[in-house]
Amino acid sequence: ELFVEGIDEKEKKKLGLTSSFPIGDWTGVQADRNSGVTHISWFSMVMSGTINLQWLPLTVESLSIVMTSIFGSVELTCLPPPLRILHLSKNFFSGTLDFSCLPDVLKYIALGKNKFSGEISLTNLPSTLVDLDVRGNTLSGTLDLTHLPEGIRKLHFSDNDFSGLTDFSRLPPTLRMLNVEMTSLEGHVYCTEADRGKFRVENSKVTLIVEE
């Protein structure tokens, strides 16, 4: 209940997010046999107010809050250890993003189309991470792409205020998509003709060089 304490009271009642119902019966919530919450999935719901990730149940493996009117900051340093999926796209979240202490098993981070700002560090991401999406915010600063997880597949940085010379020479071979469109990042990406579709650099200062 502390996790949703900041949600509008009328909306909580409409969605059944109150102590009047067993937590396993809450809208979009799945629980295990011990009543431990494992999945929270709120897509395109009439929901406003704030959430506090500090009070997210320690059993949660997947958190998806997408296309709501929820706002406020997001504290990423206190996420549950078993969390594998964090999907918070298309809301009104704001503030900075701290990727320094994410859960060791996290595979998917989607924070796109919010109002996040400030710089981000990519040098201590979980080794399990395969997909990072922060497109459509007002994030800024440079990006260090030289210490990415070895199994990373998708990186979406587009439509932000990132800038500066970027070293693209140590991208993992597992990478299937790198999107830096509509940023002010600079640098050169060398690739083969077969791989050129993996890189989206339009409306940036990044040059894609296709080698024979």
Name the E strands within the chain: 29-31, 37-43, 48-49, 62-66, 69-72, 85-87, 92-95, 108-110, 115-118, 131-133, 138-141, 154-156, 161-165, 177-179, 184-192, 199-200, 205-211
Contact 159, 182 (CB under 8 A): yes
Please report the pLDDT score of residue 4 as a whole number: 79
Q: Residue 198 domain-assigned?
A: yes
- Which pLDDT value is given to residue 24? 72
- Taking CA 203 as the corner, what is the angle to CA 199 and CA 204, rounded to the nearest 5 degrees? 70
pLDDT of residue 16: 76
Give the three-state DSSP class for 47: coil
| Prediction pTM value | 0.93
Q: Is 193 within the bounds of a domain?
A: yes
Give the domain range for residue 203: 113-212
Residue 34 within a domain: no
pLDDT at 20: 67
pLDDT tens-digit profile, the chain (212 residues): 678 789 888 888 877 777 767 777 788 899 888 889 999 999 998 899 999 999 999 999 999 999 999 999 999 999 999 999 999 999 999 999 999 999 999 999 999 999 999 999 999 999 999 999 999 999 999 999 999 999 999 999 999 999 999 999 999 999 999 999 999 999 999 999 999 999 999 999 999 999 87
Tokens in use for 8? 């509008």
Q: Considering the domain boundaries, does residue 43 fall inside one?
A: no
* Residue 160, in any domain of the structure: yes
- Hey, what are 165's tokens? 């010379």
In a domain, residue 83? The reply is: no
For residue 1, the model assigns a pLDDT of: 63
Q: Strands 115-118 and 199-200: what pairing?
A: unpaired
**9 within a domain of the structure (yes/no):** no
Domain assignment of residue 19, yes or no: no
- Number of domains forming the structure of the chain: 1
Q: How far apart are CA 4 and CA 7, in angstroms?
A: 5
